[in-house]
Amino acid sequence: MTLGRRTLIASGAAAGAVTSLPRLARAQAANTIRIGVLTDMSGMYRDNTGPTSVACTQQAVAEFGNRGFNIEVIQADHQNKPDVGSNIARQWYDQGVDLILDVPTSSVGLAVNQIAREKGKAYINVGSATADLTGPACAPTTIHWAYDTWMLAKSNGGAMVKAGGDTWFFITADYAFGHALERDTMNFVRASGGRVLGAVRTPFPGTTDFSSFLLQAQSSGAKVIGLANAGSDTQNCVKQAAEFGLTRRGIRLASLLLFINDVHGMGLRTAQGLTCTETFYWDLNDRTRAFTRRVLPRTPNNYPNMIHAGCYSATLHFLKAVADMGVAQAKASGLELVNRMKAMPTEDDAFGTGRIRPDGRRIIPSFLFEVKKPEESRGPWDYLKLVQTTPAEEAFRPLAEGGCPLVRS
Amino acid sequence: MDEIFGIPAPLLFGQLLLGLINGAFYAMLSLGLAVIFGLLNIVNMTHGALFMMGAFAAWMLLNYLGLGYWWAMLIAPLAIGAFGMVLEKLFISRLYKLDHLYGLLLTFGLALVIEGVFRNYYGSSGLPYRIPSELQGAWDLGFMFMPVYRGWVVVAALFFCLATWLVIEKTRLGAYLRAATENAPLVQAFGVNVPRMVTLTYGGGVALAALAGVLAAPIYSVNPQMGTNLIIVVFAVVVIGGMGSILGSVITGFTLGLIEGLTKVFWPEASATVIFVIMAIVLLARPAGLFGRA
């Protein structure tokens, strides 16, 4: 076969075009930071995490602006199933996602924690509660951002025992989160001189009727029923406890994890008087109100809670660290990226100033709130009043007590 | 205090009563499913979504139109039943000649779509719906505090189950329906409009689901996934009772409610599983279900 000059030139040009296209795409990818929000888009935690977590992440990206690299936010629904979550996490990291964010539901949160460690990629968990993420399961690539079971237990449990609720019965969601919250709260109750009279583990998800568990709790004679569950489980418990006259008989409900979105779902008439512990409330101060005003157009029907605000603040901090290190280095090592994040103080409108400990725990103050009576509420989503503040250094489990292998060495 | 198997007697009685109340929901939902399967041969996976729509209809009537619980008891089943008939005419009627599997897949898909739409507009954390003032309060039964509303649920469910059974077993309309399932062309030859009857039957089954939804609204969180949680259990109830057996599904509904209630005392972690264990045993011993005809 003889090749003409023209054919040769044409084919050379074509070959050049073919090879330069992926090179261009690769150059683009090398300069793009990808954040994957892995969350519950369709289940019972959707309003507590879900689309509003994505909206807050996007808000942070928009506020961060253009600093010489592209930022891409992708999202997926883990359906509260550890196997589904693990598959997506593995796929994302393999496809060059630089950070996995949010991951509510402790069982899924722990599964993704393992994968991030294996792959050496950055992982900021905001949505899961289990304190094991910075305890026995702690990983050098993981940061636990907004709250955990220990901090909830300390604030709620301590306050309840002090108020005279010294005998407890637990209604616990039967998975990693419920177990951790129950364990941590029991420790606080016992440490403050209270007694635990019993506990019942309820199947998760799929329990809608809690009346028989509530009745068991009542017959135990406990003064306080600790609800170691969340979302619609907590709502159903509160609703049904009122229905069966438990609250009228003087039994107190300790909603150990309650979000403002749950209060919205129950209505103030049902929820009034309950307490909850948060690290963020939209109406806490001028900065939180300013943040909420900015983000609300992206999520008009669902106000941000501490998880949503956490996604915002975590994204900002992550992007600051990337800008600080340079994109190439940030993409090369998730571990170094996380170490850089730990070395920098956190600062944003939603939480003010904070820091990240070596075990991955972010340290911020926690606030105990009481749900307002209907007549006290002055406007939409005006639901909580501040009862007590725990300073940052006391809010979370001390570093030495968590059993995190990173700390011992 | 008297004890039975190490459990205080009052607690046990309370649990049995609660089991009966949950059984009332199972019975009402499985009744609708059984009617639809018996007469249309459709495994209606949309049932849970329609139950949820019933609860949402009650909430919407109250919040958009100011119509309370009793109006919802009337309007919601009619509206959702009509919606069901539209579904039947548009989609389901095309599948009668095909294998059950097609009906199952179609209705399952419809359920996902309906739930997705509600989730999109109303979120997942639920909406508040109050117990009507006439049914607030509780009776002190000595061994437990019995909310008036729960008592009402049992009475209402029993009434509707009985009424449905009477219509199908004892009236001329019911006789036509049963005849049409045996041999539709023959019934049609006698001048009965079988397709219309089938549509109405589907609408009736759906109305029962919506009614159960209205009954559930004040006690469960009204949220888009409320049907999904129940529907799998209800299917197990129908399978245990015998697909298509109306009396079977009612009796099984109440019985399984009781068994589940007892499991919640003796082994709470297994309370979500116990019904499926029973289903497996029943299928091994009597594949047609307890009340089904082989």
Give the H or E element holding residue A38: strand A32-39
Strands (E), A174-245: 195-202, 224-228
pLDDT level of residue A171 (50, 70, 90 thresholds): very high
Contact B221, A236 (CB under 8 A): yes
Q: Is the peptide bond before B147 cis (omega within 30 degrees of 0)?
A: no
**Could you give the CA distance from residue A387 to residue A246 in angstroms, rounded to a whole number?**
24
Dihedral (C-alpha) B39, B41, B43, B48: value to the nearest 10 degrees? Answer: -20
Distance, C-alpha B13 to centroid of its chain: 25
pLDDT level of residue B294 (50, 70, 90 thresholds): low
**Residue A226: predicted pLDDT:** 94
Residue range A94-102: average pLDDT?
95
Cβ neighbors of B44 (< 8 A, separation 6 or more) are B32, B33, B36, B37, B103, B107, B205
**What pLDDT, in 10s, does the model give residues B224-247?**
888 887 888 888 888 898 877 788
Q: Tell me if B293 is assigned to some domain.
A: no
Closest by CA to A248, choosing from B147, B222, B221, B132, is B147
Q: Is the dihedral of CA A235, A237, A243, A249 positive or negative?
A: negative
**What pLDDT, in 10s, does the model give residues A318-343?**
999 999 999 999 999 999 999 999 99
Q: Which chain B residues are closer than 8 Å to A47 by Cβ?
A: 123-125
Give B 119-138 residues with CB within 8 A of chain A.
119, 123-128, 130-131, 138
Residue range B164-172: average pLDDT?
89
Give B 206-245 residues with CB within 8 A of chain A.
219-221, 223, 225-226, 229-230, 232
* Chain-chain contact of B223 with A266 (C-beta, under 8 angstroms): no
Q: Tell me if B142 is assigned to some domain.
A: yes
Q: Tell me if B292 is assigned to some domain.
A: no
Distance, C-alpha B22 to centroid of its chain: 11
**Does the pLDDT value for residue A10 go beyond 80?**
no
What is the interface pTM, i.e. ipTM, of the complex? 0.78
Enter the DSSP assignment of B287: T
Residue range A249-253: average pLDDT?
88
Q: Tell me if B290 is assigned to some domain.
A: no
Q: Using a CB–CB cutoff of 8 Å, tell me whether A105 touches chain B.
A: no
pLDDT level of residue A294 (50, 70, 90 thresholds): very high
**Could you give the CA distance from residue B159 to residue A16 in angstroms, rounded to a whole number?**
79
B-chain residue closest to A240, CA distance: B219
Q: Using a CB–CB cutoff of 8 Å, tell me whether B269 touches chain A.
A: yes
Report the residue from B126, B219, B225 with minimal CB separation from A265.
B126
**Could you give the CA distance from residue A326 to residue B236 in angstroms, rounded to a whole number?**
57
Where do the H-state alpha helices sit in A220-259? Answer: 231-243
Lowest mean pLDDT among A127-131, A352-356, A368-372, B21-25: B21-25
**What pLDDT, in 10s, does the model give residues A394-407?**
999 999 998 999 88
Residue range A265-290: average pLDDT?
93
Provide the domain limits for residue B121: 3-285
Report the residue from B138, B221, B232 with minimal CB separation from A265.
B221
**What pLDDT, in 10s, does the model give residues A116-125?**
999 999 999 9
Lowest mean pLDDT among A20-24, A53-57, A59-63, A187-191: A20-24
* Chain-chain contact of B226 with A42 (C-beta, under 8 angstroms): no
Domain harbouring B185, CATH code: 1.10.3470
Q: Tell me if B131 is assigned to some domain.
A: yes
Total number of domains constituting chain B:
1
Q: Which domains does chain A have, with CATH numbers?
A: 28-147+284-364 (3.40.50.2300), 150-278+366-395 (3.40.50.2300)
State the pairing for strand pair A275-278/A195-202. unpaired
Strands (E), chain B: 3-4, 7-8, 138-140, 145-147
Enter the DSSP assignment of A401: G
Q: What is the pTM of this model?
A: 0.82
pLDDT level of residue A18 (50, 70, 90 thresholds): very low
Q: What are phi and psi of A354, to 5 degrees?
A: -155, 180
Residue range B164-177: average pLDDT?
88
